Amino acid sequence: MKPNEVDRLVSTAKKFYWPAFARDASWFDHPMSIIESVEGHHVVDIFGNRLLETLSCGGAAHLGFNLPEIMEAVFDQMKKVLNTTPALFSPTEPAILLAEKIASISPGSLKYTIFSSNGTDANDAAVKVARQYWKIMGKGTKHKVIHRYPGDYHGMSLSMANASGHRFRRVAFEPLMAGFIAIHAPNCYRCPYNLTYPECDLLCAQELRKVVEWEDPSTIACFMVETTNTGLGLIPSPPGYMKMVRDICDEHEVLLIVDEVITGFGKTGFWFGCQEHGIVPDMIAMGKGICAGCGPLAGTHVKSEIAEVFTGKNVIEHGYTFGGMGYLAAAGLAGIKYVEDHKLLARVPEISARLSQELEPLKDKSPVVGDVRVNGVMAGVELVKDKAAKETFANNVEVAGLVGKVGRDNGVLLTCSPWYGDIILLYLQLTMTDEELSMTFNAVNKAVVEVEKQFL
């Protein structure tokens, strides 16, 4: 793009485009603020930067960009039906086949899928299913939703602002909705109880039982949880945690909703993160990777014994105009087939081992690396000013900016989340090459060194 065209587009963006996620018009002066094209695992902006993308569009593009097999499936379906179906939300063939395929790769009796447009919708639908289910079962007092804080992120709607653990995404919209109750999320590096695993006896999971019993089990509809807390800087559940909360939910007739919008479709080395923990939730909220990041598609995946009570006068009054678009479902089918054909679930442990091998030593080597957390192709490197005190940087936004700059200088788009300190987040593609992995680790190492030089 010519310089005068770049200037004109930036000026137009500042005048008319309201940027999301707490940004203002100054965002458009930054590299990667306006994207021109993508290729493989790289993204190109209008300023001429071509960078290796290491966050996979927030976990959505976990197979990279513009895979021919996926693009062909999308275009073929577009030629048949591009817009939403005309017969009052009747599905197209790919949506039905995708629902069938998801049932074949999910655990236990999880079977039926309600399609929607994004992860927020999928989580919101799960709460609606839980509340109506208990009404159908004659237990209509069970309406409360237990969720976790800080970090757990379930979406941007008003209801999901209630159910998420990001205070900065809640306060501007208060007063919020009633019936949402928060418990502590596990974080072994920064344990809310100042305990150490496993001597803690999973007090973070036991808190669920105490809160359910205090609130009265006859009022609790569901517990919403991420198997890996992505919003807190990629914190996997400690061993035994998910099994214990599953048992507590069963004990008190509480539906367990697992949010796999980010972790689903292979990123942990399993199709879904709950399989890593050997548990079967009552519902899985899924999105992003469901269609390999090709567009607004998500789903609420529900156990057969729950979904099948929604009959006769008890059918659910829920749906979306653009829920389950055929061309996106075709992308989803092609994406799952690509993972199967190329045995990418087996590739995940190899990438995970490289992540641990390259990043774990930073904890001993660097005075600013407080913790390293790895789960599948995902990793979080937590930067601190004082390792002994686990003190965060006061100028955390500047630290995050420096990490991003060093990444760009080395050809890599590095994301450093400043929400809870400074955490370098990696959501790598299942298709990333060894050379691209080395390029990523080089950028991370150089970013850590620069933080040491400039902020200690």
CA distances from 196 to 235, 238, 426 (A): 15, 11, 26
Q: Report how far residue 238's alpha carbon sits from residue 202's, in angstroms, rounded to the nearest whole number.
A: 8
Which H helix or E strand runs over 364?
helix 362-365
Q: Hey, which residues does 37 pair with through a beta bridge?
A: 44
CATH of domain 69-341: 3.40.640.10
Determine the residue type at 256. Answer: L
Look up the pTM and report it.
0.96
Q: Is the peptide bond before 175 cis (omega within 30 degrees of 0)?
A: yes
- The burial of 26, by beta-carbon neighbours within 10 Å (0-12 exposed, 13-18 middle, 19 or more buried), is given as exposed
3-state secondary structure 257-294: EEECCCCCCCCCCCCCHHHHCCCCCCEEEECHHHHCCC
Nearest to 248 by CA among 303, 297, 205: 205
CATH of domain 31-60+343-455: 3.90.1150.10
Q: Report how far residue 286's alpha carbon sits from residue 271's, in angstroms, rounded to the nearest whole number.
A: 11
Q: Is the peptide bond before 198 cis (omega within 30 degrees of 0)?
A: yes
Nearest to 91 by CA among 293, 327, 318, 284: 327
Buried b (16+ CB within 10 A) or exposed e, 158-197: ebbbbbbbbeebeeeeeeeeeebbbbbbbbbebbeeeeeb
Determine the residue type at 192. Answer: P
* Pair type for strands 235-236 and 228-229: antiparallel
| Tokens describing residue 287 | 């999105």
Is there a contact between 222 and 127 (Cβ–Cβ < 8 Å)?
A: yes
Which H helix or E strand runs over 44?
strand 42-45
Is there a contact between 5 and 20 (Cβ–Cβ < 8 Å)?
A: no
**pLDDT score, position 86:** 63
Is there a contact between 179 and 143 (Cβ–Cβ < 8 Å)?
A: yes
Note the pLDDT tens digit of each residue in 392-444.
999 999 999 999 999 999 999 999 998 888 999 999 999 999 999 999 999 99
Buried b (16+ CB within 10 A) or exposed e, 405-429: ebbbebbbbbbbbbbbbbbbbbbbb
Q: Report how far residue 443's alpha carbon sits from residue 14's, in angstroms, rounded to the nearest whole number.
A: 31
Q: Report how far residue 172's alpha carbon sits from residue 219's, in angstroms, rounded to the nearest whole number.
A: 28
Is there a contact between 77 and 333 (Cβ–Cβ < 8 Å)?
A: no
Q: Where are the domains of the chain?
A: 31-60+343-455, 69-341
Note the pLDDT tens digit of each residue in 79-102.
999 887 666 678 999 999 999 999
Alpha helix (H) residue ranges in 173-299: 203-215, 241-251, 273-276
**Low-confidence stretches of the chain (pLDDT beneath 70):** 85-88
Neighbours of 96 (CB within 10 A): 14
